[in-house]
Amino acid sequence: MKNANNMKNNLNNMFKKKDGSKFYLIAFLVLFVALIVRVIFFGNINGISKTNNTEIKTPIELSFSDVLRRANDIKTMDIHKDNVATGTLKDGTPYRATITYNPELLEKISKNGASVSINNTDSVWDGVAKWLPILVSALFLIWLLRLMRGGNGGGGITRSLIGQNPTKITTGKTKTTFKDVAGIDSEKQELMEVVEFLKHKEKFKALGARVPRGILLSGEPGTGKTLLARAVAGEANVPFFATSGSDFSGIIVGLGVAKIKEIFELAKRNAPCILFIDEIDAIGQSRSKHSLNDNDREQTLNQLLIEMDGFANDTGIIVIAATNRPDMLDKALLRPGRFDRQINIDLPNLEGRRDILELHAKKFKIADNLSMLDIARGTTGFSGADLENLLNEAALHAVRVGHKVVEKSDVEEARDKILMGPKKSRKIRPEDIKLTAYHEAAHAFVSMHYADITNPIHKATIIPRGRALGMVQTLPVDNKVSMTLAEVRADLAIDLAGRASEEIFFGPNKITTGAENDIMQASRLARYAITTAGLSSKIGMVAINQLDTFGQRTALENASEKTAQAVDAEVRAWTDNAYKDAKNLISKNKATVEKIAKALLDKETLSAEEIREIISGKKTVAKKTVKKSNAKK
């Protein structure tokens, strides 16, 4: 689709040109259409046509011997050039014949009363048929030659097929600076050397230092790679050119190489500058003996390597590239002298998320009591783009419900919508709602029991969203980078508490499939702790799961059949023990869990403080009247 759009734009650009190519192209098209019309309507005189609803008979073909034999039957004969004769027989049948000029034959036909005429002149259509193809070919060749020379503007057919130049985001000073980038302070510090080089090149030359020619930014989508590259150009007050790796691939072989040359020529004319290539893995994939069918991409990569290494050591061009898959890039592209420095941009931590939220919050009307730190605690794993989207969704919800400013409830709704999906309006059976309440109440209670070990609970809800009928949400207190064995066991018990509650309160035959996601999370955590983190005394400190070429873990790689069986048994033992722990806790505190479940049925959502009050017994949660329609959601 993109190639089709590029071809369309290129044709539009051809017609907008001020040179004579447009005239030759239009003339060629007009004459070509005329030639087609000539062939269709006048080229074949042997067919049956209708004129004024009168059918004209198809002329019969007569050989020279037929003419001699049927001379008495001929009524008219018109002899044209090239010894072609046409006419009618006495019964009205038209004919067409190829004859040899013979005065005796013509005299014989004339004596029988036939009308014979000789026409040596060319008709109009004979001239058209003779000269039109030659003229069409000549005009096409003239247009093609002018296009290859580029008309009066230069650039030629290559420029026309390549399309427009890479997008020049800004000229001169950009509006984006490091003040517009938050949450990645260490990455910004890495790029300050580039800014200093572009501003004060002499200081580096005096010491013989060479600034990195290329910088590769890698990281998850939405972490700010493009924003950071644009900020470098803004801080250095130099032009910023941006393109993407997919722009160098086309339907015509060789255009990628031509466009690489074009973009670097453009950058050299505006040096010093920043040249940004997004998604460079589209052209920079590692070359191998199995990639013979993709020679065009390899040629494009080779040209990029040549341009970046080059013969000129001081071009003033700094190439910044971004990718989500640095493992796919060719080693020649990553060697010193090309992409000298690689900067990995991680997802922001707690302080980084708070800084990003505070930066984006300036564009919205935020309530005074809304804490960006609290929002940051509840958005673990969010990228910078996700956080901006969170505030935007919260603002949209605030407008929808009639709030004057973005309040905490708007942010909560936006976060739940992003994590779990929008609220479901389908009707749910009362028994399913009751079971969900007891399920989530058990998660909340066990989570509160292990509050000193795991992340504290934020809220519990039985409002259905996406595929989930309810959930218990926790918020991290600080930036946690690892888990203890006690924390792993506690999380396993929390994950399986919902299924344990179903069995305790409703019986073994009433357990449901609602614990599907809980069981999957528990199994994944147990297997990770046993096979990768080395937390199992039976398996030992052996990394069984290894990362494959795509960065994903495969099940029991490099493990023997005996080891695989031992791992499966250990995973089963860990989950069984966690399930027993959850059942024991719920059985000993059955009344408390039931109080939490009834409160959820009354209010649908309970905060951490409300759950804590129920468990401690200090205060009873005030019942809230819920509409019947809402209770069945």
Task: Determine whether 220 is an active site residue.
Answer: no
* Rounded Cα–Cα distance for residues 233 and 239 (Å): 7
Please say whether the beta carbons of 454 and 447 come within 8 A: yes
Copy the structure tokens of residue 370. Answer: 């809304």
Percent of the chain with pLDDT over 70: 72
Q: Where is the domain boundary, 345, 379, 400?
A: 345
Class of residue 233 by CB neighbours under 10 A (exposed 0-12, middle 13-18, buried 19+): buried
pTM of the model: 0.63
Burial 169-179 (b: 16+ CB within 10 A, else e): bbeeebebbbe
* CA 519 from centre of chain: 32
Across residues 382-403, what is the average pLDDT?
91
72 with 134, same domain?
yes
Q: Where is the domain boundary, 301, 329, 345?
A: 345
- Give the helix ranges, DSSP H, for 362-429: 372-377, 384-401, 408-420
**CATH code of 273's domain:** 3.40.50.300
Copy the structure tokens of residue 63. Answer: 């050989």
Among 187, 227, 183, 230, residue whose Cα is nearest residue 359: 183
| Digit-coded pLDDT (tens) for 189-207 | 888 878 888 787 788 778 8
Q: Which is more confident, 384 or 421?
A: 384
Q: Which is more confident, 109 or 519?
A: 519
375 with 303, same domain?
no
pLDDT band of 102, cuts 50, 70, 90: low
At residue 161, the pLDDT reads: 44
* Rounded Cα–Cα distance for residues 255 and 540 (Å): 56
* Rounded Cα–Cα distance for residues 284 and 540 (Å): 40
List CB contacts of 545: < 8 A, sequence separation 6 or more.
Answer: 527, 528, 531, 532, 553, 554, 555, 556, 557
Q: Which is more confident, 490 or 476?
A: 490
Copy the structure tokens of residue 163. Answer: 């399309």
* Rounded Cα–Cα distance for residues 35 and 536 (Å): 84
| Digit-coded pLDDT (tens) for 267-315 | 888 888 888 888 888 888 887 655 554 677 788 888 888 888 764 556 6
Q: Which is more confident, 394 or 36?
A: 394
* Rounded Cα–Cα distance for residues 191 and 214 (Å): 11
Please say whether the beta carbons of 304 and 261 come within 8 A: no
Q: Which is more confident, 606 or 38?
A: 606
Please say whether the beta carbons of 455 and 477 come within 8 A: yes
Please say whether the beta carbons of 6 and 163 come within 8 A: yes
Q: Which is more confident, 242 or 158?
A: 242
* Rounded Cα–Cα distance for residues 372 and 358 (Å): 7
Copy the structure tokens of residue 201. Answer: 């090149």
**CATH code of 401's domain:** 1.10.8.60
Write down the mean pLDDT value for the chain: 77
* CA 114 from centre of chain: 80
151 with 214, same domain?
no
* Rounded Cα–Cα distance for residues 532 and 525 (Å): 10
308 with 235, same domain?
yes
At residue 573, the pLDDT reads: 95
Total of domains in the chain: 4
135 with 45, same domain?
yes
At residue 122, the pLDDT reads: 57
| Digit-coded pLDDT (tens) for 523-543 | 999 999 998 888 999 988 887
First to last CA, the chain: 43
List CB contacts of 115: < 8 A, sequence separation 6 or more.
Answer: 75, 76, 77
285 with 375, same domain?
no
* Rounded Cα–Cα distance for residues 625 and 437 (Å): 16
**CATH code of 613's domain:** 1.20.58.760
489 with 624, same domain?
yes
Q: Which is more confident, 632 or 619?
A: 619
> Which range scores top for mean pLDDT: 310-314, 372-376, 425-429?
372-376
Q: Where is the domain boundary, 401, 420, 439?
A: 420
Confidence check: pLDDT of 157 > 70: no
Whether residue 425 is contained in a domain is answered as no
Side chain identity at 573, as an amino acid letter? A
Candidates 235, 407, 440, 610; catalytic one: 440
322 with 445, same domain?
no
486 with 603, same domain?
yes
Please say whether the beta carbons of 216 and 344 come within 8 A: no
332 with 397, same domain?
no
* Rounded Cα–Cα distance for residues 274 and 272 (Å): 7
Confidence check: pLDDT of 552 > 60: no
Percent of the chain with pLDDT over 90: 18
> Which range scores top for mean pLDDT: 103-107, 174-178, 222-226?
222-226
Q: Which is more confident, 50 or 577?
A: 577
Residue carrying the six token digits 């030629």? 156
- Ramachandran angles phi, psi of 93, nearest 5°: -80, 125
Confidence check: pLDDT of 423 > 50: yes
At residue 294, the pLDDT reads: 62
Please say whether the beta carbons of 488 and 522 come within 8 A: no
At residue 226, the pLDDT reads: 86
* Rounded Cα–Cα distance for residues 506 and 435 (Å): 8
Whether residue 84 is contained in a domain is answered as yes
Copy the structure tokens of residue 621. Answer: 């949660």
Residue carrying the six token digits 């009247």? 625
Q: Which is more confident, 446 or 429?
A: 446
| Digit-coded pLDDT (tens) for 460-469 | 988 887 777 8
At residue 145, the pLDDT reads: 67
> Which range scores top for mean pLDDT: 117-126, 132-141, 158-167, 596-605?
596-605
At residue 561, the pLDDT reads: 79
> Which range scores top for mean pLDDT: 41-45, 547-551, 579-583?
579-583
Side chain identity at 163, as an amino acid letter? G
Whether residue 469 is contained in a domain is answered as yes
Q: What residue numbers bound the domain in which 336 lies?
A: 168-345
Q: What share of the chain is helix, strand, coil (3-state, %, to 5)?
A: 55, 15, 35
Class of residue 355 by CB neighbours under 10 A (exposed 0-12, middle 13-18, buried 19+): buried
Burial 2-33 (b: 16+ CB within 10 A, else e): eeeebeeeeeeeeeebeeebbebbebbeebee
* Rounded Cα–Cα distance for residues 444 and 434 (Å): 15
Copy the structure tokens of residue 440. Answer: 């989530």
At residue 625, the pLDDT reads: 39
DSSP state of 386: H
Copy the structure tokens of residue 407. Answer: 């309040």
At residue 330, the pLDDT reads: 86
pLDDT band of 392, cuts 50, 70, 90: very high
Copy the structure tokens of residue 8. Answer: 């369309």
At residue 97, the pLDDT reads: 79
Across residues 499-508, what is the average pLDDT?
92
The H or E element that residue 302 is part of is: helix 295-309
Confidence check: pLDDT of 27 > 70: no
Confidence check: pLDDT of 171 > 80: no
Across residues 219-243, what is the average pLDDT?
86
**CATH code of 99's domain:** 3.30.720.210
Strand order in the sheet with 240-244: 168-170, 240-244, 273-278, 317-323, 214-219, 341-345
Count of C-beta atoms within a 10 Å radius of residue 283: 26
Across residues 315-341, what is the average pLDDT?
85
231 with 322, same domain?
yes
571 with 445, same domain?
yes
Count of C-beta atoms within a 10 Å radius of residue 519: 16
Whether residue 560 is contained in a domain is answered as yes
Strand order in the sheet with 471-474: 471-474, 457-461, 605-607
